Chains A and B, each alone.
Chain A
Amino acid sequence: MSRIPLPYNPKVLDLFRNPKNLGKMEDASVVAVAGNPACGDMVTFYLKITPQDIIEKASFESYGCAANIATSSIVTELVKGLSLEAAWKDITWKKVTEEVGGLPSIKFHCGVLAVGALKRAIRIYYEKKGTTPTWLPQEHTFEEKQALEEEELAKTLAKRLKVEEEKK
C-alpha cells in the first residue's frame, strides 16, 4: 500500500469546494448507488425524468474523495436536459475525465464510478417502467462493469479480512 502524489487540477478542487447539484432529491424518478467504501468511493445518483424520457434534473451524494465528488458533480451538469438515450451514449468516463480537466491515473476509477452510477440509474428506470429501448444494450457498459468489479472486490476484501460487510 503505497502513497502517490495526487496533483489534482484546479477544476477538480473547485468542484470539490463548490459541488453542483449536491444532495438527495425527494421527487427523484430513479435512484442508483455504485461503489463501496472498502475500495474508496460510493456514490448515489438521483434523476428526475420527464414522461418523454428527458432528464429534467440530476443530483448526487458522494461518500468518496475529491475526484469522485468532482466527477459526480460534472455528470449531473452534463446530463441535465438530455434524453436518456443521449445521456447513455454521450456520457463516458473519458468524457467526464476530460471535462474535469484530467485526473491522476490512480483516480480514473472515481470518474468511472460516477458514470457507472448514471448508467445503472438509466437501466433501473427502464426496468421499473417495464420497457427496454432498442438503444439500451443488454450487456453492461465498461463503467457498469467497473462498478460491479469494485463492489465484488469489496466483498472479497471483506471476506479475506473477515470484516463485516457494509450494508448498502
Chain B
Amino acid sequence: MVENVKELLKLHEGIKREVYLDNENSSVVPREVLDTMLPYYNKMAYGNPTLTHKPGWEAFKAIMESSQKISKFLGANILEEINFTPGETEANNLALMGAAFANPNKGKKIVIDEIEPINVMNVTEMMKKYGYTTTKVPVNQEGLVDLEKLKEAVDKETVLVSISAVNNEIGTIQPLKEAVAIVKDKNPGALFHTDASDAYGRIQLNVQDLKVDMATISSYKILGPRGIGALYIKEGLNVEKIIEGQIGTQKLWPGIENTPLIVGFTKASEMAFNNFDANVSQMRAMRDELADGILSKMTDVKLNGPKGDKRSPDNANISFLRCEGEALTIELSLKGVYISSGSACSRRLLQPSHVLVAIGRRFSEAHGSILMKTTRYHTEEDIKYVLDVLPMSVERIRGIVGSTGVD
C-alpha cells in the first residue's frame, strides 16, 4: 500500500503550481506559527505545567496566557472558561457527553440540526446506548435551521441543544442568537452548545453576546497546528470529564498538556484576529473570485448553500452535474489543485454528504460536489490557476460519464 502511494506521488512530479483549497480537512500552517511553537519544544516551557520547577512554571504561564488570549477572542468572561482539548472532535464529544452526563436531572433529550458535523451526529447516535434520544431539526434549502421546528423540538426533557454557528460544508451562518433565545424561552434549563469551528476567525463571534453555554473551536481551521482545539464552557456550568487520567491545568481533559500546540493555536488566533477585517475581506474576495468564476464560466454547475451575508466568507461548495466528485479530486490533484468532495465514492458508507441531502440536493448533485475553502493567503494568481485547470478537468470527467445516469 505504501508503495502505491509512492507511485501516486511520483505522478505529481512536475506540477507547475499548487493551490490548497481543502482547508475543511486540514491546513497549511504559516511560518510565523511554527516559529512561535518551536522554542516550546526545546528552549522553554517544555516542562509539565503542574510541576514545581522552572520549565513547569514556564509551561503553566504559557498555557494561562493562551487561555487568556483565546477567551478574549471568543468574548468569554474569564480564562478558566477555556478548556483545551486535542481538537474539535474531542471538544464536541466533551460538550455533548460531558454536559449531558453531568446534568441527569435536566432530562435525556438532545436537539441538533440535521446538518451538524459528523462528530456531533455520531456522539448523539452513540448516546442512544445511555438512554438519550436525539431530535434533528430540519433546515431549509440554504441550510438555515427552521426556528419554528426548533421551538417545537425543545421541551422540558431537553438537556442540550447543539447547533453549529457556521455549517462546515456549505458555510451557512445560523441565526444563533435567535436560536438560543428560542431554546431558553422554551426551557431555561436546557443547555446550548455550538460548534463554532467554522465561525471562529471568519465571522463576528461573542459567546456572551450569543448567550451560548458551550462553544467548540479548532486550531487547524484557523491555520493553527492540528491536534488542538478548545471548548468554551460558561463559568459555573456543570460538565464532567469523559476520559480518565491525571488531571492537570485542563480540568476536563486529563493527560499532559501539549504546550507547543496550545501556543501555536493561540498564535494562529492572534494572526486571525489582529487583522480580522483585512483577513476576512481577503478570504472573501478570493472565495468570490473562485465561486463567481466557476458559476459564470462553467455550465451545469450549482452553488450549494446560501449566497451573500448568510454565507461564511471562505466557503465555496459547488456541484458539477454529470461529473463524479472523487474522480475530480484525483484529476485536480494531478494538476496541483487540492479539494475534497461530498460524493458517496469518497466516503466509506457509500452515501453522499448528509448536508447536501438535507438541503434537498439530488444524489447526482451531491455526487459531483466539491468543497473549497479560501484563506487570507490565497492570491489572485492561485484562483486564476484553479479557474484555468478546473474546466478541462471537469470536461474530462464528464467525457467518461457520457450519458450514464443523466436524466
Contacts and interface: CB of A to CB of B under 8 A. Distances in A.
Interface of A: 1-4, 7-10, 13, 16-17, 19, 22-24, 33, 36-44, 61-66, 68-69, 104, 106, 109-110, 150, 153-154, 157-158, 161, 163-164, 166-168
A46 to B, nearest CB: 10
Interface in B325-359: 326-327, 330, 334, 343-352, 354, 357
B137 to A, nearest CB: 15
A60 to B, nearest CB: 9
B327 A64 contact: yes
18 contacts: A4-B348, A7-B8, A8-B8, A22-B400, A22-B402, A40-B344, A61-B402, A63-B322, A63-B401, A64-B324, A65-B326, A109-B350, A157-B363, A158-B363, A161-B354, A163-B357, A166-B363, A166-B407
Contact of A163 (B345, B362, B403): B362
Contact of A19 (B2, B11, B322, B400): B400
B348 A65 contact: no
Contact of B400 (A40, A62, A163, A168): A62
Greatest chain B CB density within 10 A among A17, A40, A41, A109 is at A40
Interface of B: 1-2, 4-5, 7-8, 11, 118, 322, 324, 326-327, 330, 334, 343-352, 354, 357, 360, 362-364, 367, 399-405, 407
B344 A66 contact: no
Contacts of A8: 4, 8, 330
Given A24-B402, A61-B403, A1 B324 contact: no
A8 B246 CA distance: 42
Given A1-B118, A37-B344, A64-B324, 13 more contacts: A3-B346, A8-B8, A9-B7, A13-B11, A24-B402, A37-B405, A40-B343, A40-B345, A63-B324, A157-B363, A163-B360, A166-B405, A167-B407
B7 A37 contact: no
A65 B2 CA distance: 21
Contact of B344 (A9, A38, A168): A38
Contacts, number: 128
B357 A64 contact: no
Contacts of A19: 400
A81 to B, nearest CB: 24
A23 B402 CA distance: 7
A7 B4 contact: yes
A40 to B, nearest CB: 4
B363 A37 contact: yes
Greatest chain A CB density within 10 A among B326, B343, B345 is at B345
Contacts of B352: 37-38
Nearest to A4: B348
Nearest to A64: B324
Contact of B363 (A68, A163, A168): A163
A40 B343 CA distance: 7
Contact of B401 (A61, A104, A106): A61
B363 A69 contact: no
A168 B334 CA distance: 31
Given A13-B8, A39-B344, A66-B326, A157 B407 contact: no
Contacts of B401: 61-63
Greatest chain B CB density within 10 A among A63, A164, A168 is at A63
B136 to A, nearest CB: 12
Contacts of A154: 363
A19 B331 CA distance: 13
Contacts of B350: 39-40, 109, 150, 153
Given A63-B404, A65-B326, A10 B343 contact: no
A153 to B, nearest CB: 7
Nearest to B2: A7
A65 B11 contact: no
B402 A69 contact: no
Greatest chain A CB density within 10 A among B8, B360, B407 is at B8
A41 B363 CA distance: 11
A157 B357 CA distance: 10
B346 A43 contact: no
A43 B404 contact: yes
A72 to B, nearest CB: 9
A136 to B, nearest CB: 25
Given A40-B345, A65-B346, A106-B348, A7 B1 contact: yes
B185 to A, nearest CB: 30
Contacts of B367: 37-38, 63
A19 B198 CA distance: 39
A64 B327 CA distance: 7
Given A10-B7, A44-B404, A161 B362 contact: no
Contacts of A39: 344, 350-351
Contacts of A44: 402-404
A168 to B, nearest CB: 8
Contact of A65 (B327, B360, B402): B327
Nearest to B5: A7
